[in-house]
Structure 1
Amino acid sequence: MQGRTTVHAWLMLSPALLLLVAFTHYPAIATIWHSLFSTPRGSRPARFVGAENYLALAEDPIFWQALMNNLVYALTTIPLSIGLALMMALWVNGKIHGRTALRIAFFTPTVLPMIAVANLWLFFYTPDYGLLDQILRTLFGWGPTNWIGRTETALGAMIVVAVWKEAGFFMIFYLAALQAIPPNLCEAAAIEGASRARIFWRITLPLLGPTTLFVLVNAVINGFRLVDHIIVMTKGGPDNATALLLTYVYELGFRFWDTATASALTVVLLVMLALTAAVQFLVGEKRVHYR
């Protein structure tokens, strides 16, 4: 009987396992393998070069600039998107007028394709005629600014787009978690004289721990994965000011056809994400309280 149950369980899991192996594990192993060979050129086949592609990356200044840009991008978008999502969820979870309309407004950027979002923000950032410059001129009298054409502001402009896109998505998870918290806990604390701030820090926030861990893992992945708008809006420019690791992978692999170096860079990115996820789960699980 136990053997039949085991076989049945594996049969039920087999479709998901096949998809996972075909589209996740096999591509990752193939990428590691290709990173150890040179790029085939015409009639010249690929040859084994070992760690040469990784050494070439270590000597590539654009790689280090893309890495620093990506760290700034991730370390900014992650806390901003999560914090904004939590604030929005707390707001629309309360008894306020127009709550449904607010939820729809906050969630709308999530359902828009990233390409459409990029083109929308291209209009916002257009010098002189864009919505942002129009508002700043009206309120403060500022002149036109090339927001995505200047190295000082281009990366910040991309961060704003990413936070605007992600916050509504994370808000849905926080909203569902808030509605799952038994109201009698907060009512009992209020009867005991606890302030709203104390209820939030001592009751609400700890009970949101599992959701925060899930959102944090997704935010970290998106911090290195969400680059569609950069490819559309700046293509990594100006002067590599918005170049991230994934945009550099795209440039190496599809513009210069240097698949070997692109594979090595992909492996570096995978290792970074794996280590970050491991640290998150090892540290986060100790601080998360499951009900």
Structure 2
Amino acid sequence: MTHMVKQERRRAALYGWMLLSPALVLFTTFVFAPTVATLWQSLFSAGTRRRPPAFVGLDNYADLIADPVFWRVVGNNLLYTGIAVPASIALALGMALWANARIPARAFVRVAYFTPAMLPMIAAANLWLFFYTPGFGPLAALGLGSVNWLGQPETALWAVTVVAVWKEAGFFMVFYLAALQTIPPDLREAAQIEGAGRWTYTRRVVLPLLMPTTLFVLVNALINSVRLIDQLFILTKGGPDNASKLILYWMWELAFSYFDAPRAAAMTVLVLMVLCLVAVVQFTLIDRRAHYR
């Protein structure tokens, strides 16, 4: 009897590993192996034909921390994240609440809100490049066309942030809209019977029920804030004077413009460490509150 139980457990374990094997192969090939390779590369110097790469330990990390451009890029990314993430989430929630209400042409409103998310980032960036061109486009009609939004250090990062919020809010709206449609209408009727107004119902019932969706959107928004690169190629190329340069663009620049792949690998490792720390905080503290544990 004991032998049969052990045999059944082995079969169940083997069956489980067979089910996990496709995911493990994909993760090992495209996640784990590149991560280990990047970590290993960050410990060597940039080699040439005459001088092969040499082991330098943590020197690449020390060089990054001593580089003023590093702190400028990190500051830009923190500012961009602090503005773009809450702005896109708040705008997405507002659009979802509006698109879920009983309004005329509701289908048209939903399509209009989601249209920016369907545009390729390069196309959206070129569209906004026309808007930001001094003397042309809708901004000129509003009396703002004389400002070189992308050519001034004071406004370049803000201009890039506006494009990102405009692009992502419609995408995040879809998740909120789907979550709103899962809320039972009985809750609204019960709130009306109790005399709760629209704002009270939204604040005390709708928003708490949307917390799991907000956590999901927050995770995606934070990831997007680190991997922004497409529109920088079109709009600013990180300028002027590194005013709009973000982390991923600088890593690309280190690897393919300056041919310093080890420093780019070191920067990648630092970013992965920060993202892992943020993920731990999100899924240990925020996730419990979001799911009422």
Q: Answer whether TM exceeds 0.5 for this pair.
A: yes
Q: Distance in 2 between matches of 1:244 and 1:102?
A: 33
* Paired amino acid for 2:198: R
Contact 1:85 1:174 in 2 (8 A): yes
Give the alignment of 1:205-224 within 5 angstroms: 205-224=207-226
Contact 1:74 1:220 in 2 (8 A): yes
Contact 1:70 1:245 in 2 (8 A): yes
Residue by residue over 1:81-136, the C-alpha shift from the partner in whole angstroms, topping out at 9 and shown as x without a partner, is 0000000000011111111111111111112111111111111111101322x232
In the alignment, which of 97, 110, 113 is matched to residue 90 of structure 1? 97
Q: Which structure has the larger Rg?
A: 2
Q: Is 1:117–2:124 an aligned residue pair?
A: yes
Give the alignment of 1:229-244 within 5 angstroms: 229-244=231-246
Give the alignment of 1:249-260 within 5 angstroms: 249-260=251-262
Q: Is 1:53–2:60 an aligned residue pair?
A: yes
Residue aligning to 2:200: 198
Give the alignment of 1:1-291 within 5 angstroms: 1-132=8-139, 134-137=140-143, 142=144, 144-289=146-291
Contact 1:38 1:46 in 2 (8 A): yes
Q: Distance in 1 between matches of 2:176 and 2:14?
A: 38
Q: Distance in 2 between matches of 1:228 and 1:253?
A: 16
Q: Percent identity of the aligned residues?
A: 55
Normalised to the residue count of structure 1, the TM-score between the two structures is: 0.95
Give the secondary structure class of the aligned counterpart of 2:57.
Answer: coil
Superposed structure 1 runs of 4+ greater than 6 Å apart: none
The gaps in structure 1 that reach 5 residues or longer are none
* Paired amino acid for 1:10: W
Deviation of the 1:200 alpha carbon: 1.0
Deviation of the 1:2 alpha carbon: 4.0
Contact 2:237 2:245 in 1 (8 A): yes
Q: CA RMSD in A?
A: 1.4
Between 1:209-218 and 1:10-19, the stretch displaced more is: 10-19
* Paired amino acid for 2:172: F
Deviation of the 1:10 alpha carbon: 2.4
Residue aligning to 2:5: none
